[in-house]
Structure formats: structure tokens, C-alpha cells
Structure 1
Amino acid sequence: MTNNWLDIALAQLGKKYHSSGAFVAFVMNASQKQAVNQTGDWSPELIDLTHEVYQVGTVPESHPGDLLFWGIAQQPYSVGIYVGGGHFISVNERDATVKMQILTHNWYPTFSGSTS
């Protein structure tokens, strides 16, 4: 596994993606970051991403590179990549642009998925 996911994610800041899943799949595939036992490419479909992570857990357990999900595991509606220090990178829902964002009580993920 390579560790260039953060560089690839940061290079996407300001770019437009049609969905948060498309952005996350691009970063994970471009960096060749794979979850344990994963054999194929990351899917841009949010429900597929929940199945591709190594382990589902709580947000406070997250480590840089883990995926943060909003919604329930059976029906997530957004995903981002945890950077650390309460920050994540994702597609802003309002303008479809990749932005560095801060975890707040108004926009807090429901669960996380470990990628290692």
C-alpha cells in the first residue's frame, strides 16, 4: 500500500466531482490504497464503499486515510476521507467541489470505515 493518498486528495481541492463517492474512489484507486483482502478497484457507489472497507467503526476511532460516512450503513448519503485533527476532505454538497472541511456537530459523520 502506498501512502500518497493525501497528496492525491489535496491535489483535487477545488475540482468538481459529481459525487463524494466518485471523489473517494478516484483518490483510493489513484493511490493504490487498498483495504485488507480487497482485490478490485474502489467503487464510486456509496453502498459499495461501505462493503469495501476493512472494518466499520466509530468516528473517534478513525485514523488518517479512513473513510467517514454520513447516513446509515445500508444507505449512506455522503463520504469523505479523514485527514486527522478533526479535518476531512470531501465533495461539498452545495457546489460539488472538493474541499477541506472540519468535523462539527452540525456536519458529523455517522460511522467510519477503516482502510487498513
Structure 2
Amino acid sequence: MSHTAHIPSHRKPRRNASKTALRAGVAGGVLSTIAVAAAAGPAQAEPVTQTIEMPTLTTGLSTAVAASAEATQQVALDLETQAHEDAAAATAAKAAKTAKAEAVRKAEAKKKAEAAAKAKAEAALRASRSEARTTLSSASVASSSSSATGSAASVISFVKAQVGDAYVSGGTGPNSWDCSGLVQAAFRSVGVDLPRVSQAQSTAGTQVSLSNLQPGDILYWGGAGSAYHVGVYVGGGQFVGAQNPSTGVVLRSLDYDPPSGAVRVL
């Protein structure tokens, strides 16, 4: 035994029996293979030339990138188109709002103008009626100072005698009349032959102003030559006429229905 055998660190490790057997087997196999190859002769083994083609990763990647770029471009185009459409819609809405406001303004202005014109016309009508009443009142005062005589007095007596009779369109008496039928009969009683209808009677004599009326003058309503109603002025600011089916022949103040004009035939 060595003089250092008693020191542990100098001791040779014991080989494991199983590892030793394994190594022996591997070595034997390698030697056997060499021996077989030597017996086979000098033939050389052909080199392996088969090429394994690996898949190209960039092909699919470039396709995906191209598709993504195209999709991005399409999204950008869609957004731009939508922006244009939104801007056009906003412009159209603003124009419509402006047009509506202008239409409302014009309608209000037209309404105000019509109201002003109506008020002006009503004021003019009231002024005209007031003037007509004033004129008729003046005529009443002037005519009341003198009484009708002669033929005029006879005409007045005739029409007053018919007050209360019925009104019938086309009536010529003796108990029912229309306006021109009563006037014609009254003047016929004093030998004056008048036309039958009010239009012709309104131009049968000399036109006189309403401020210069005399008893026995023929009053008319409407235009001279186109009058739609006639009566007889009896003095004192009053007239007699066959008015309508509701009232018949009546005695009324000139203020009740101011006439348009008058003619004098006596």
C-alpha cells in the first residue's frame, strides 16, 4: 500500500461496474463496425445531396402588409368622403335655415303691410262715411227750412202713403213694390214718365250734390248709370224707399244708409 493511501484526496475513485460495462460495449460495437467496413472494400459512400426547401416567411408577410395598406387607404378614402358629405349636409342645412328665416321674415312683413293697408282703408272708409253724414246733415238743415210745393209735394205724399207696403222684386203696386217700381209710380202720379229700372233712373235727371238736396230728388246707391237701389228724398234728412223683403217700404234717416248720389227731375 502507498504511503499516501490513507489520505482521502489521494485515493483513486472506484469505477462503477455498470459504467465500465457500458463503455466496453460501445467500444466493441465501434470496432465491429470498422471491421465490417474494411471487409466490404474500398467503396466510398455517396454524399447526401438532397436539399430540404424551407418555407419562405416573407411571402405571406408581404401579402398581409399590402392588404393592410390597401385597407388603410380605403378607410382613409371613406373618412374623406364622409367628411365631404358631412360638410355638404351642414352647408345645405345652414342654407335651408337661412331660407326659412327669410321666408318667415317676408311673411311677417307682408302680414304687417296687409294689416296696415286694411287699417288705412278702414280709416278712409270711416272718414268718408263721416263726411257723407256731415254733408247729409247740412242738406237736411237747408231743406228743412223750406217745404215741398207743387209736383214735389205730390211725389212726397205718394211715397209716404206707401210706407208699410210689402217689398216684392218686380212689384209696381198698388200694395207691393220694389225700389224702382215705387219711384216710377210716384213720379207718374205728377205726369213724369221715368225709366223702369234703378240704373236708368239714376241718370234720368240732373245730377245734384248731396249737400244741395231738395225734397222730391231721386236718391241712388251705387254708381250713376249702374245704381242698384233708388229712393225719394222727402226733406228733413229723410227718404222713403222700398228697401227689402224684411222691411218693405220704409221712412228712414239718410244716416241709416247714406246714398251715393242724387238726380233732380222736377
Q: Are 1:69 and 2:220 an aligned pair?
A: yes
Q: Is the 8 A contact 2:239 2:254 kept in 1?
A: yes
Displaced runs of 4 or more, over 4 A: none
Q: Is the 8 A contact 2:166 2:245 kept in 1?
A: no
Aligned length in residues: 107
Match of 2:195 among 43, 47, 54: 43
Amino acid at match of 1:9: V
Corresponding residue number in structure 2 for 1:25: 184
Cα deviation for residue 6 of structure 1 reads 1.6
Higher relative contact order (CA 8 A, sep 6+): 1
Q: Is the 8 A contact 2:232 2:240 kept in 1?
A: yes
- d(CA) in 2 for partners of 1:74, 1:10: 26
Partner secondary structure for residue 159 of structure 2? helix
Q: Is the 8 A contact 1:23 1:44 kept in 2?
A: no
Match of 1:103 among 228, 244, 254: 254
Q: Are 1:59 and 2:210 an aligned pair?
A: yes
Give 1 or 2: higher strand fraction.
1
- d(CA) in 2 for partners of 1:103, 1:94: 20
Q: Are 1:114 and 2:264 an aligned pair?
A: yes
TM-score (norm: length of structure 1): 0.81
Amino acid at match of 2:239: F
Partner secondary structure for residue 31 of structure 1? coil
- d(CA) in 1 for partners of 2:238, 2:180: 18
Cα deviation for residue 96 of structure 1 reads 5.7
Aligned-residue Cα RMSD (Å) equals 1.8
TM-score (norm: length of structure 2): 0.38
Cα deviation for residue 27 of structure 1 reads 0.8
Give 1 or 2: higher helix fraction.
2
Unaligned runs of 5+ in 2: 1-149, 170-177
Cα deviation for residue 25 of structure 1 reads 0.5
Q: Are 1:12 and 2:171 an aligned pair?
A: no
Corresponding residue number in structure 2 for 1:37: none
Partner secondary structure for residue 4 of structure 1? helix
- d(CA) in 2 for partners of 1:49, 1:58: 16
Partner secondary structure for residue 157 of structure 2? helix
Amino acid at match of 2:185: F
Partner secondary structure for residue 75 of structure 1? coil
Q: Is the 8 A contact 1:57 1:112 kept in 2?
A: yes
Bigger drift between 95-104 and 78-87 goes to: 95-104
